[in-house]
Chains A and B, each alone.
Chain A
Amino acid sequence: MKGVFLGIDVGSVSTNLVAIDKNNNILSSLYLRTNGQPVEASRIGLRKLYKEFEGRIKVLGVGTTGSGRQLTGIMVGADVIKNEITAHATATITYVPGTRTIFEIGGQDSKIIILKDGMVTDFAMNTVCAAGTGSFLEHQSERLGIPIEKFGDMALTAERNVRIAGRCTVFAESDMIAKQQFGFSKAEIINGLCEALVRNYINNLGRGKKLEPPYVFQGGVAANKGIVSAFEKELNHKVTVPENYGVMGAIGAAVLARELIERSGNSTKFRGFECAELEFTPTSFVCNGCDNACEVIKIVMDGKIVAMWGDRCGKWTNSIII
């Protein structure tokens, strides 16, 4: 039986699962839609993985990341629950050693991570606006009636340059409509959009930072060749897209879990693939113990309260004895 480490990245748009062995070889990777139901998506992923391997593997460690990392971490019994910046950086350092700058664009957020000697030295994450992320591209692909998978290829066929405002999705959209009325082709509009997104991304997140090559571009949006070429044009340098660009967060979580288990020598807290079948209900209530009126999150698993958080005083958090 082969020992594996699982990584689960529960994001706003996609939920990804990977299984790696102790030499960081990727044995399986899954890319699923979260559809607003992080718990359900992780369950489906776990079932699929279980089916794929049917008892041929032994899980030695699990790591979770992404905005749903806490919840999923409790459900599966994760050894490591890490933020996505550290997870992404870990994966990139492992698979593309020597990287100095990581561009990561996901469904609802985007990041720049600056590395030196395999260490994160600086990072930035979009704050107030989703302009330039996957969700916006997806919305535009729907509006233009072009499947998102074909977006990138189509951008590459553009013959003329169209400048589209990338500062804000609202402005970008009205600009696109205006340029359509001028008679530019869809391909040119899409290309203009890709360039606008990259420009906005670099101005916004890269502000005041020195972006040094080698560059790596990952996250779901890296599938879009139009964006990749816009990056290369903007930076005037080659940009590498790693093989598993879409699941780098999950890979990072798996690598972090492997490192922790190997360093500590502990056995995993993984609840087993059966956890996908257990009843798991997150609920919340407002505690009226004092004026703070905290919203407390309560997680019930198989009839037992397994976690509580959100209380300022610690009354509920401390009430769980594991």
Chain B
Amino acid sequence: MKVSFPYMGTTVIYKKLFELLDHEVIEPPVPSQRTIDLGVKNSPEFACYPLKVILGSYIEAIELGATTLITSGGHGPCRAGFYGETHYRILKSLGYDIELIVFDAYKRDITGTIKNVRKILNGKSLGYLWKTLKIVYLMAKSMDKIEKKIQKLRAYETYKGSCNRAWEEIQKIYDSVKSIEDIVNAELQSKAILDNIKVIEVSESERIKIGIVGEIYVVMEKSINLKIEEILGAMGAEVERSQYISEWIDYNLLPRWVSKPYELEILKKGEKFIKEIIGGHAKQTVGHIVDYAERRFDGVVHLMPFACLPELVSQSIIPAITKEYNIPVITLPIDEQTGLANVQTRIEAFLDLIKNKKRIRIA
């Protein structure tokens, strides 16, 4: 079977998993205007933006020959839980005869998960699968570590784009790893590349740190979030996201006796403002804002797909957090619109506000 998956963030990692299981992997193209157009055209008008873009990605992957699409399921009472079924039905009505494998939270559906695992196992032993998962997990950890460094460096690069070029190069290095040893080497090579990036020295007190929170897809996938990390970086701000793949694995896949994910801490921090998990990432969003405030970040950018219910709830909680923790937060709804002017203006003004605030605090 020819396998593909939704395009989100560092896709080398998902690719690696299926490659190691000896599947033929069809990498979906980076979401482009065409992807968005395809998705929008074939989705219900009121569906959320991630559903539309992912649908577009699926169609493009099928055009390239994919016969099996593999994705994770949503959990909690938000529309994301229906993505798999909705996508499947739309694709079917478009005449695409494919298989869609949805991995829902295994703790809730053990038999379903076992069935799905059998499908992707490709005749391999469970022992081999375990080894593969370990490699992929360590690779995700390692890549996230490097990406976090880049998100800081980008604010100070002397030549615009040198961090982006380095990241492209690094992803290629990781693309060829096959063992844990390879990962260690890839990390060393990547660090060497980063050390070669020319940067401007900025004193600690003048550094600006921004956290990015919100719904996972718009936070992780830069081709649809107006490259918000790069916009902030170009204006001299270090960024950190609320979502990284390895952290997602920590929270969603690993048994609790293996790791105690940071996300549990985050959820606890949000408890005060929102008790229930209302679906999507609303509770995480709230928890992360509190977390960033406690870690003395200078501000938070909150991304939400236009009309996303969970994030609308978190948006309405934000004023209370801002008041209590005195941290500026700006919410940007993300939709098809690709015009940068409006976002650029708001981010610029937001950073002006932060700089002024910082100046007063220091004085």
Contact = CB atoms under 8 A, between A and B. Distances in A.
A259 to B, nearest CB: 13
Interface in B333-356: 333, 335, 341-342, 344-346, 348-350, 352-353, 356
Contact of A85 (B319, B335, B349): B349
Interface in A307-322: 311-315, 317-318
Interface in B126-161: 159-161
B356 A315 contact: no
Interface string A111-126: 0000000011111010
A119 B332 CA distance: 22
Interface in B195-238: 227, 230
B330 to A, nearest CB: 9
A119 B357 contact: yes
A67 interface: yes
A136 B319 CA distance: 30
Contacts of B161: 311-315, 317-318
Chain A binding surface, main DSSP class = loop
B88 to A, nearest CB: 28
Given A86-B348, A312-B227, 19 more contacts: A67-B341, A67-B345, A83-B348, A85-B345, A85-B346, A85-B348, A85-B349, A86-B352, A109-B342, A119-B357, A120-B356, A123-B353, A125-B346, A128-B306, A312-B230, A313-B161, A314-B159, A314-B165, A317-B160
A127 B353 CA distance: 19
Given A119-B357, A291-B30, A86 B349 contact: yes
> Which of B319, B335, B360 is packed against the most chain A CB atoms within 10 Å?
B319
> Which of B318, B349, B352, B357 is packed against the most chain A CB atoms within 10 Å?
B349
Contacts of B345: 67, 83-85, 125
A119 to B, nearest CB: 5
Nearest to A291: B30
Interface residues of A, number: 28
Contact of B353 (A109, A121, A291): A121
A314 B32 contact: no
Q: What class of interface size applies to chain B in its complex with A?
A: 20 to 34
A147 to B, nearest CB: 30
A318 B306 contact: no
Contacts of A315: 161
Nearest to B306: A128
A19 to B, nearest CB: 24
A208 interface: yes
Given A119-B360, A208-B316, A127 B165 contact: no
A120 B352 contact: yes
Contact of B160 (A86, A120, A123, A314): A314
Contacts of A67: 341, 345
Interface of A: 67, 82-86, 109, 119-123, 125, 127-128, 207-209, 291-293, 311-315, 317-318
Chain B binding surface, main DSSP class = helix
B310 interface: no
B328 interface: yes
B162 A314 contact: yes
B164 A122 contact: no
A83 B352 contact: yes
Contacts of A84: 345
Ranked 10 nearest A-B pairs via Cβ: A314-B161, A208-B319, A85-B349, A314-B160, A83-B348, A83-B345, A313-B161, A86-B352, A83-B349, A120-B353
A121 B30 CA distance: 38
A120 B29 CA distance: 42
A257 B350 CA distance: 20
A120 B358 CA distance: 12
Contacts of A314: 159-162, 164-165
Contacts of B318: 208
B94 to A, nearest CB: 25
Nearest to B307: A128
A85 B318 CA distance: 21
Contacts of B353: 119-123
19 contacts: A82-B348, A83-B344, A83-B345, A83-B352, A85-B348, A85-B349, A86-B348, A86-B349, A119-B356, A121-B353, A125-B342, A127-B333, A293-B32, A312-B161, A313-B161, A313-B165, A314-B161, A314-B164, A314-B165
